[in-house]
Structure formats: structure tokens, C-alpha cells
Amino acid sequence: MNQKFLMSVGIFVLFAWGMIAFYYAQMDFAEVLKNPEPPWEVTINATPIFAALVIGGILSATLFMKSKKKNKSIAKAFFLPPEFEESDEREQEITAKACRASYVTMWYTFPILTALMLFYPFISESVPYYPVIIVMLFPLVQSTAYFLSWKKYY
């Protein structure tokens, strides 16, 4: 479970890094639309995108293969999060408690992260990708709450 959680967090972080690169490219594209006279220039940093695709792909494939072995179903392995480890009734109950804890956590996380968006006008010059960070905190907090709850009950 620890390994799957860390791999999931790694995929989240790589995806966020790639989205930040796309955010900067979108900002360049917005400038092109505002000033349509040439020269047009839109640059994108390929390193985070390449890392997200390659490393994230390897991590995702590893999680998929482990999940496929355990679930014996491609559909379950592909669509269920890798943290869902249910081989008996006890583990199903633990998963249910962890899902409940994750759901309750989101009730507190949504307003807090939404309130954190109020700081964006003050830091938009220094951290223009702040909304990407806030949005990516949602699944990170949810997965962390699930993992901690699962560990507590296991």
C-alpha cells in the first residue's frame, strides 16, 4: 500500500509539473492573441511533459500490472484507483471506512482550497501557476486522507 500511494503521489506531481509547462505555453499563446502582429512566439518546456509521459507512464503501467494481477480483470485494473486492495470482506470494510474518511476530508478541503484562491491576485506575478497547484492539491489531499485512514484501520 505504501508503494502504491507513493507511486500515485509521484504521478500527481509529474502531472502537475507538466500542467505548469502547459500553463506557461498558454500564457504565451494569450499574448499572441492580444497582440496579433508578428513575430509570434509560443514556447513550451518539453522536459516536464516528457518526464510526465515517460516516468508517469512507467509508474502507471507498473500500477496497472499489479492491479491487474490482483483483480484478475482488465476493466477493474484500468478504472479503479490502485489503492483499492480488496481481497476479502475485512479489506472491503477497511476500504469503505477509508473512502468515507476521504469523502469527509473533501468537505473541509474544498472550502479551504477555494479560500486559498483569494490569495491569487496578490501572488499572480511571482507564482502565476498558483491555480494549477490548488487544483492538483484536491486529489493529493484526497489520496492522502484515504491512505492514512486505510493504514489506521489495517
pLDDT band of residue 20 (cuts 50, 70, 90) is: very high
Q: Give the model's pLDDT for residue 115.
A: 96
Q: Torsion over CA of 57, 62, 67 and 68, rounded to 10 degrees?
A: 90
Taking only Cα atoms into account, the Rg of the chain, rounded to an integer number of angstroms, comes to 19
Closest CA to 131 of 145, 118, 112, 144: 118
pLDDT tens profile 82-134:
667 677 788 889 888 999 999 999 999 999 999 999 999 999 999 999 999 99
Closest CA to 59 of 105, 91, 13: 13
pLDDT tens profile 42-55:
889 999 999 999 99
Higher pLDDT: 142 or 71? It is 142
Query: Maximum Cα–Cα distance for the chain, whole Å?
Result: 65
Specify whether the CB–CB gap between 77 and 64 falls below 8 A. Answer: yes
